[in-house]
């Protein structure tokens, strides 16, 4: 993933460490809403202090809306928790948010969205819901499963 990447994701993600290791030209902007996650990422998950990695404590949507640059890749890996398990923050799954993301992608850039497949409480297929909404903003959408179906 050479070039610039913006992510609304857990700051402890191995994705960032891998990008820094394998793509020396990569520049990463990360938005993490929880300052404790940022501290834990550095203290326990060996996320390095690196000038190519800028972690901002901010909501991903607000961060992206205020961004003044475009990205090759925007990675979404945002979850909240409830008594029913993980959920996707609603404001990061709307047509309006996806339009903001599209406006911040370079030509040929892509939005990557990580999600679990089924909402445990409602039994709805999250992937299909996301694909439907994404299809209203992006010409091409693809779903990949890391777990054999």
β-pairing verdict for 27-32 and 105-113 = unpaired
Point out which residues pair with 77 in neighbouring strands.
9
H helix intervals, the chain: 14-22, 35-44, 60-66, 95-103, 126-134
Residue 125 is a catalytic residue: no
| Tokens found for residue 117 | 């497949």
Q: Which of 34, 72, 77, 119 is catalytic?
A: 77
109's tokens: 């850039």
Residue keyed to tokens 């089924």? 118
**Rounded to an integer, what distance in angstroms lies between the CA atom of residue 128 and that of residue 133?**
9
Q: Known catalytic residues?
A: 77
């Amino acid at each position: 993933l050479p070039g610039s990447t913006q992510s609304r994701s857990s700051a402890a993600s191995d994705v960032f460490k891998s990008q820094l290791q394998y793509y020396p030209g990569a520049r990463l902007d990360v938005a993490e809403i929880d300052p404790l996650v940022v501290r834990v990422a550095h203290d326990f998950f060996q996320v390095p202090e690196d000038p190519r990695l800028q972690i901002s404590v901010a909501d991903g949507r607000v961060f992206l809306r205020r961004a003044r640059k475009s990205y090759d890749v925007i990675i979404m890996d945002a979850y909240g928790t409830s008594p029913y398990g993980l959920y996707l923050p609603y404001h990061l799954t709307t047509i309006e948010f996806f339009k903001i993301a599209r406006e911040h992608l370079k030509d040929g850039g892509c939005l990557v969205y990580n999600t679990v497949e089924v909402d445990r409480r409602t039994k709805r297929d999250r992937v299909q819901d996301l694909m439907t909404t994404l299809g209203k903003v992006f010409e091409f959408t693809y779903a990949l499963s890391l777990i054999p179906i």
